[in-house]
Amino acid sequence: MVVAGVAVGLAGVVGLHGVIPNSPGRLGSLVESFLPWSGVVVVLLSVVALVRRSGVGLVALLLPVGVWVQGFGGLLLPGAGADSGSRELVVVQHNVSDENPDPAGTARALLAAGGDLVALEELVGPALAVYEDVLGADYPHHVVRGTVGLWSKYPIREDQLVDIRPRAFEAGWSRGLRAVVRTPYGDVAAYVAHLPSVRVGARGLASSPRDESARMLGDIVRGEKVGAVILMGDLNSTVDDRGLHPLTSQLNVAERGFAFSYPAALPVARIDQVLARSAGVSHVRTLPATGSDHLPVAARVTLGPLPPSGRPAP
């Protein structure tokens, strides 16, 4: 009966995670950040039920199993191969770390992924010049604003700083940019963002600045005039965390792949994200470790159909 009760409760957490109150300590966001790992709890409960020969417990576990499969099972499926006629971009996202001891090696590793767009965060000091030098031959177009940058194989026809600085942060804090990239499939508004970090302590999850920054970015993206949007960045949050709702409520998330990216030594969550509008993120995967505390991620983004005229969107 204990196993059955826990199973029903677990099903409620996984399927209705938004009902967990976020105060005190932003408990809801903390639980949501690790929801995919609830599958491990289901497995452990199944073992307990088998050992105790609890038929009721095993039957009760069907509920959380079904809820977990519905919520996360699709991420386990392999990504479909690229269709030769698809309007697809390969996007690479990486927080390179401001303490990376080998920026040149990191840049070469990113080149090996063969992305059309490469978004980087924590670009500081002399390391920035290294990334510009190593990536420049394959990516002739790039823009850097503050500590974030975008490298593109296709022309960037406009770019600007995106202000996502929380009110309590100093004026020099700059972690957002917008660029319009002229791809073979039409213009794409490409955003690169690095939301504020969160901390887990005795009082729970400290995420107020991140949540404020996410709301600001969400408002900006909502007003974007270019139809196709790709958002890349270290969002310091998983897509299940309600803190990213201002973004996930209007942008598509990855359909395939868990791609846990942080921390690189023992990845337990994907906080490095690729989200899109008027496009689907068909698959996301991690790349080999670099000198950063994050793993790079690569995503396949399939853009929607061209306008009826057959010309790229204005």
pLDDT digits (tens, 9 = 90+) for 11-52: 444 544 555 666 666 666 666 666 675 556 656 656 665 666
Residue 114's pLDDT is what? Answer: 96
Buried b (16+ CB within 10 A) or exposed e, 94-124: bbbbeebeebeebbebbbebebbbbbbbbbe
Query: From CA 79, how far away is CA 314, in angstroms rounded?
Result: 31
Residue 313: per-residue pLDDT? 40
What span, in angstroms and rounded, lies between the C-alpha atoms of 24 and 34? 18
pLDDT on residue 86: 77
The dihedral formed by the CA atoms of 21, 22, 24 and 29, expressed in degrees to the nearest 10 = 130
CA-based torsion, 136, 259, 234, 106: positive or negative = negative
User: Pairing between strand 156-161 and 199-201?
Assistant: unpaired
Whether the Cβ atoms of residue 244 and residue 215 lie closer than 8 Å to each other = no
The tens place of each residue's pLDDT in the chain, 314 residues long, gives 444 444 444 444 454 455 566 666 666 666 666 667 555 665 665 666 566 665 665 555 566 666 556 666 666 667 665 555 679 999 999 999 999 999 999 999 999 999 999 999 999 999 999 999 999 999 999 999 999 999 999 999 999 999 999 999 999 999 999 999 999 999 999 999 999 998 776 566 778 999 999 999 999 999 999 999 999 999 999 999 999 999 999 999 998 898 999 999 999 999 999 999 999 999 999 999 999 999 999 999 999 875 443 334 43
Q: State the DSSP H helix or E strand holding residue 65, giving kind and residue range, or none if neither.
A: helix 55-72
Write the CB contacts of 203 (distance below 8 Å, at least 6 apart in sequence). 24, 25
pLDDT at 309: 37
| pLDDT, position 19 | 56
pLDDT of residue 314: 35
226-263 residue pLDDT tens:
999 999 999 999 999 999 999 999 999 998 898 999 99
**Are the beta carbons of 204 and 245 closer than 8 angstroms?**
no
Residue type, 118: V
For residue 283, the model assigns a pLDDT of 94
The helix-helix angle for 103-111 and 125-136 (nearest 10°) equals: 30
> Quick one: tokens of 266?
């023992």
Residue (of 300, 298, 205) closest to 255 by Cα position: 300
